[in-house]
Amino acid sequence: MTRASATDILCIGAQRSMTSWLHRVMSAHPQTWAFPNFGPVTSTSKEAHYWDWNHHRGADWYRVLMRPLEDSRHSLDFTPDYAFLNDDQIGECHRLNPTAKVVYILRDPLARAVSALRMHTVWASQNAAPDKLTLRYGQQFLDRCKHARLQEHGAYVANIRRWRRRYPDLLVLSFEDLRADPLAGMQAILAHCALDSDGISPQDRERMTSRAQEVIWKTPAYPLDADCLHYLHGLTWAERQAVAHELGMRFTEGPSMIESIA
């Protein structure tokens, strides 16, 4: 059987916006398929990283990786770094995956940046969280911001514009809405991806519902000092305004963080 797309469902981020949670829930659906974990070539069975880590392996490698054991199943590639692919890369993605359904979860830009910075700092510290991250680290702090690619991951409006040129039905969701009512969010995602939500067995439904209550990849919530938060607030403020203007999406996580140190 010839498959129209190598990947049927793409989640392009945003990083630290429940993409691991969504993959775990959706991989429990009987009509989906997650590729085997080939780490470190892939990041677990969630992120194929074809357009960054593995592009040199070629399109046939990606097709073989993503092909389900049963062609009736929908293959999943949830790689947040895809969000900021350029036009040519998205064009190549569309040639490989012309019928794919694409999902993008947006989180408050400041809250997402803080979570990403915490995650990358813990990785850099070999899983040991610092007592507090402060601007007194100077260049080290700025290097960690750069390493976390805060601006690329947080450029929501520009990313959406590029992806919608090829995938005009791109589904954009709010992290805050998804966290507040994960089951309702799942219904919207299943409908967008043409996955049955009514005819699945009670056992599969229970498994998906159970996974929907889980928290995946929670990083230690060590504090950032006020200077760090103000720096990140300035870095992300324009994007928050752009999202509100172009998408009508407003966030509360970041403003709450700033109010707490005012």
Q: Which residues of 225-253 are buried (b: 16+ CB within 10 A; e: fewer)?
A: eeebbebbbebbeebbeebeeeeebebeb
Six-digit token pair at 24?
Answer: 């775990």
Q: Tell me which residue range forms the domain holding 250.
A: 9-261
Give the helix, strand, coil percentages of the chain, each rounded to 5.
Answer: 50, 10, 40
What number is the average pLDDT over the span 15-30?
Answer: 92
Most confident of 17-31, 95-109, 227-241: 95-109
The predicted pLDDT at position 107 comes to 97
pLDDT greater than 80 at residue 96: yes
Whether 1 is in a domain gets the answer no
Q: Which residue has the tokens 């070629």?
A: 58
The predicted pLDDT at position 54 comes to 98
Whether 2 is in a domain gets the answer no
Whether 225 is in a domain gets the answer yes
The predicted-structure confidence for 144-202, as pLDDT tens digits, reads as follows: 888 899 999 999 999 999 999 999 999 999 999 998 998 899 999 999 999 988 878 88
Determine the Cα–Cα distance for residues 191 and 169; give it in Å rounded to an integer.
12
pLDDT greater than 60 at residue 251: yes
Lowest mean pLDDT among 47-61, 86-100, 191-205, 208-222: 208-222
The model's pTM is 0.92
The predicted pLDDT at position 129 comes to 54
The DSSP annotation for 54-82 comes to SGGG-HHHHHHHH--SSTTSEEEEE-GGG
Whether 165 is in a domain gets the answer yes
Whether 110 is in a domain gets the answer yes
What number is the average pLDDT over the span 5-11?
Answer: 98
Write the CATH number for 58: 3.40.50.300
Whether 4 is in a domain gets the answer no
- How many domains would you assign to the chain? 1
The predicted-structure confidence for 99-148, as pLDDT tens digits, reads as follows: 999 999 999 999 999 999 888 776 555 555 555 666 666 777 888 888 89
Whether 69 is in a domain gets the answer yes
Supply the mean pLDDT for the chain: 90
Whether 227 is in a domain gets the answer yes
Q: How confident is the model at residue 236 (pLDDT cuts 50, 70, 90)?
A: very high
